[in-house]
Chain A
Amino acid sequence: MPKRETPLLDQLESGPWPSFVSEMKRQSESRHAKENEVQYQIPVDVCDDLLGVLELSYKEGEVHWKHGGIVGVFGYGGGVIGRYCDQPQMFPGVAHFHTVRVNQPAAKYYKADFLRQLCDLWDFRGSGLTNMHGSTGDIVFLGTRTEQLEEIFFELTHNLNQDLGGSGSNLRTPECCLGESRCEWACYDSQELCYQLTMEYQDELHRPAFPYKFKFKFDACPNGCVASIARSDLSFIGTWRDEIRIDQEAVAAYAGGEISPNGGAHAGKDWGPFDLQKEVIDLCPTECMWMEDGKLKINDKECTRCMHCLNVMPRALRIGNDRGLSILVGAKAPILDGAQMGSLLVPFIKAEEPYDEIKEVIENIWDWWMEEGKNRERIGETMKRMGFQRLLEVTGIPPMPQHVQEPRTNPYIFWKEEEVPGGWDRDIADYRSRHQK
């Protein structure tokens, strides 16, 4: 049993959903049981004290963690988040309780032996509690003491061939969907691009030199399973620019009710027989589909690749063969000036190794942002303040209708001097020769 009473938290052990309180208690019990066989490198009662401080927060409705603190490993400016309890006398086991972010393998696939190595390391040198995974995608080790940080880093790099993730004003750990590994809609290899860019920008990941955080996320299709369009400064979303491939026999099988729509996603309710006209053709946002002589036709030129028809009939429709990705810039949560969605910068780019074209876009954006961005300003806010046209200038991308939802509604155009014949300098005497005062 944990050493503290936690009557409020105990109420979160019941109910069917997996209980995080039970997880904390499980680790507490394990540590007490193995106390004589494992020489734990941080206090053995760390989980008990974490339960204790959390119980206090549940009682008061107030947090008991202090503000940050600068800790880390030598040569890195990110990857570790300092955390101290503001009631260290009451909860000495969590007086220091730093987080370690570990860069996850792309799309979060694991082999048990590697996971066990991580577990052994974290059991021995930390609290034994983790997040699988943090919001940005890292493996999050929750809670250790300062003197363990270099030891953890040494073991990670020497024995586990594994590095830390990002924190602070740097490139945050890039994250991708599972892409080609297990999805028929992947328009590019999101895992490989994620991995290659993570490796290319290790310096930017570990040594904060940016105005604020910067996130890369990779969605292999417009369904957006890692939400890149909403939460990454640079969002890489797979797409194609040729025709959707149609298997007319399978279309007929869907229409005839032999295959259930949407991969069976609606099986829990009787929605009536599948109606191809109503559920696919009429819901197409561009109205570019129709039936002709019992065959499904698509005017691909008008298609915006929203994915609906492919999602509904995965066995009949497949993505095109001329594949690549779109790059969107500037998504962020509301802090400070309101939320921003990613804005389309590159409609189509091939995703082929060594990805030089993509790297050029990234580096041009970074150069500009590092020059013009204010402290704690995300790229989306810099874009908003300086204008989208500046982003086009620095990346050398020509303006096109794909860049806007609609053209501007105000005519306050910032003409540049070189765009106006004769420039801006004029002679007042010459003017007066034609216009009296």
Chain B
Amino acid sequence: MAFISSGYNPDKPMENRISDIGPRHYSEFLPPVIKNNKGKWLWHEILEPGILMHKAESGEEVYTVRAGSPRLLSVETIREICDIADKHCDGYVRFTTRNNVEFMVDSKDKIAPLKEDLASRKHPGGSFKFPVGGTGAGVTNIVHTQGWIHCHTPASDASGTVKVVLDDLFEEFQQMRLPAQLRISMACCLNMCGAVHCSDIAILGYHRKPPIIDHENLENLCEIPLAVSSCPTAAIRPSKTTIKDPKTGEDKTVKTVAIKNERCMFCGNCYTMCPALPLTDGEGDGLVIMAGGKVSNRISNPKFSKVVVAFIPNETPRWPTLVKVVRQIVEAYAKGARKYERVGDWAERIGWERFFEACDLEFTHHLIDDFRDPAYYTWRQTTNFKF
């Protein structure tokens, strides 16, 4: 593995340096039919699941074939996407916010061969590489975070939980039989790198044990005042303790922190500020399920997802309880909601007490908010409840 330089000279880092040039301008990458009709689209139609047609004022049409992806893509697969784009779409392709790949063509007769081509491509393990779907009143790709693959604070894996849920809901990705679109999102810790807090169904990685204090290293790894101030519930205070010096075996006093465990809500903010306070734990960590959020302003206001299952353990590799719970919610929603009604709107119409019945979910004390002001606004202050 000989080191090959690109031309960068570490002795003169500023020589020929180019910086702050920003991204490439999108107009370089727009397919001609898109570029010609930009800002002049009249209407669209979903011809079948995963296939869209947009009609322009000029009379021109663009057909889009949308395919799912696991978000984590090898460059080998991206090259394959390029080959498909070259073969069918003059080399143009786009990705969606929800990690789908979209192939666009300018006439209807180009769809069938493209669709056939995509459907024929499978991984050796049996999964589709480019399943077509993800449009309209169905489930689209699950946006997610890094999980155990690449993050330092996750309480679960992201790619794996998404894979097992979408394996189970695969037909919902390829159909449009739901009352409205159903957006599922996954975040592997409370930091929520995606917008899972406003999703129809959210899968959230969660820790349940307070940080372990690495007394021996804390003083060297952390700014104690920063660790103290990082805690939103004031559970951390500066402290001193006596430990055995690992080298000499003698007692020594070190500066460290103490934690009031009962105040901890396991957010992990202290760990972000102080690496000597790790939280991850095979027994403690798992998933929270939230439901009923949305970001669209359509009919009702955007709303947050609500916690409906306080804990599901990390049952690797296929998380059967998670899959079962998500399926229960999807089925109950499909059965109970009216056309155009999102999960949260349905739950509010029938009442959350009915939501738990319909989804066959247990209501526990963990689902009553006890965190500061937001808690008060969620308690019921009326006699208009249902038995």
Chain A contacts for B145, CB-based, 8 A: 135
Residues of A111-133 at the interface with B, using a CB-CB cut-off of 8 Å, are: 111-116, 118-120, 122-123, 128-133
A224–B127 touching, CB < 8 Å: no
> B19 to A76, Cβ gap below 8 A?
yes
- Does the CB pair B151–A311 fall under 8 Å? no
Instruction: Check A268/B95 contact, CB under 8 A, given A39-B4, A105-B23, A263-B46.
Output: no
A30 nearest CB neighbor, chain B only: B76
How many residue-residue contacts, CB under 8 A, span A and B? 455
Closest Cβ–Cβ distance, residue B346 to chain A (whole Å)? 14
Q: Assess whether A397 is interfacial by the CB under 8 Å rule.
A: no
Assess whether A366 is interfacial by the CB under 8 Å rule: no
Q: Which residues of A contact B59 (CB under 8 A)?
A: none
A200 to B112, CA, bound (A): 43
Query: Which residue of the partner chain, among B1, B21, B29, B144, contacts A39 with CB atoms under 8 Å?
Result: B1
Q: B8 an interface residue at 8 Å Cβ cutoff?
A: yes
Contacts of A271 in B (CB 8 A): 339
Which residues does chain B contribute within 8 Å of A10, judged by CB atoms?
125
Whether the pair B126, A103 counts as a contact (CB closer than 8 A) is no
Determine whether A403 belongs to the interface, using a CB cutoff of 8 Å to chain B. Answer: no
Q: Which of A236-264 contact B (CB under 8 A)?
A: 237, 260, 262-264
A16 to B167, CA, bound (A): 6
> What residues of chain B lie closer than 8 Å to A297, measured between beta carbons?
none
Residues on A with C-beta less than 8 A from B34 are: 109, 181-182
- The minimal Cβ–Cβ distance linking A261 to chain B, given in whole angstroms, is 9
Residue pair B92, A63 in contact (C-beta under 8 Å): no
Which residues between 278 and 310 of chain B lie within 8 Å of chain A, taking CB atoms? Answer: 280-283, 285, 293, 295-300, 302, 304
Question: Nearest Cβ in chain A — how far from B89, in angstroms?
Answer: 9
A85 → chain B closest CB, angstroms: 10
The range of chain B's interface size is 35 or more
Neighbouring A residues of B181 by C-beta, 8 Å: 265
Flag the segment in B192-200, B241-249, B252-260, B324-332 that touches A: B192-200
Contact B26 A195 (CB under 8 A): yes
CA distance A263 to B136 in the complex (A): 8
Query: Is residue A393 within 8 Å, beta carbon to beta carbon, of the partner chain?
Result: no
CB distance from A359 to the nearest CB of B (A): 16
B82 nearest in chain A by CB position? A112
Interchain CB contact under 8 A, B192 and A154: no
**Residues B99 and A133 in contact, CB atoms below 8 Å apart:** yes
Cα of A9 to Cα of B163 in the assembled complex, Å? 11
The reply to whether the CB of B363 lies closer than 8 angstroms to some CB of chain A is no
Among A19, A30, A162, A199, the residue within 8 A (CB) of B70 is: A19
Chain B neighbourhood of A24, CB < 8 A: 72, 74
Indicate whether B114 reaches chain A with its CB closer than 8 angstroms: no
For chain A, the count of residues having a C-beta within 8 Å of the partner chain is 152
Write the nearest CB–CB distance from B231 to chain A, whole angstroms: 9
Contacting pair B22 A112 (CB below 8 A) = no
**A58, B75: Cβ atoms under 8 Å?**
no
Bound-state Cα–Cα, A73 to B178, Å: 48
- Chain A min CB distance to B171 (Å): 9
Which chain A residues in 300-314 approach chain B with CB under 8 Å?
304-308, 311-312, 314
B213 in the interface, Cβ–Cβ < 8 Å? no
- CB of B48 within 8 Å of the partner chain: yes
Complex Cα distance, B183 from A277, in Å, reads 27
With a cutoff of 8 Å between Cβ atoms, the chain B residues found around residue A16 in the complex are 126-128, 131, 167, 170
Q: A227 contacts B195, CB within 8 Å?
A: yes
A41 at the interface (CB under 8 A from B): yes
* B138 surroundings in chain A (CB, below 8 A): 268
Contacts of B10 in A (CB 8 A): 150
List of A residues within 8 angstroms of B6 by Cβ: 151-152, 154-155, 158-159
A36 is an interface residue with CB less than 8 A from chain B? no
* Residues B70 and A222 in contact, CB atoms below 8 Å apart: no
Q: Is the CB of A18 within 8 A of B70?
A: yes
Q: For window 83-127 of chain B, which residues contact chain A by CB distance below 8 Å?
A: 83, 85-86, 91-97, 99, 101, 104, 123-127
B48 & A137 in contact (Cβ 8 Å cutoff): no
A-B contact pairs, 21 of them (CB 8 A): A11-B317, A14-B127, A15-B163, A25-B124, A43-B1, A44-B1, A103-B22, A105-B25, A106-B23, A110-B92, A112-B86, A115-B81, A119-B82, A135-B144, A181-B26, A195-B22, A263-B43, A265-B137, A265-B176, A312-B340, A341-B302
Chain B interface residues (CB < 8 Å from chain A): 1-8, 10, 13-14, 16-26, 28-31, 34, 38-39, 41-49, 54, 62, 64, 68-79, 81-83, 85-86, 91-97, 99, 101, 104, 123-131, 135-138, 143-146, 148-154, 157, 159-160, 163-164, 166-167, 170, 173, 175-178, 181, 187, 190-198, 226, 229-230, 232, 267, 269, 271-273, 275, 280-283, 285, 293, 295-300, 302, 304, 314, 316-318, 339-340, 371-372, 374
Besides A227-B295, A376-B269, 6 more A-B contacts (Cβ < 8 Å) are A12-B160, A17-B127, A58-B316, A163-B23, A177-B97, A186-B39
A-B CB proximity, top 7 nearest: A13-B125, A265-B136, A15-B167, A333-B192, A61-B282, A268-B177, A22-B123
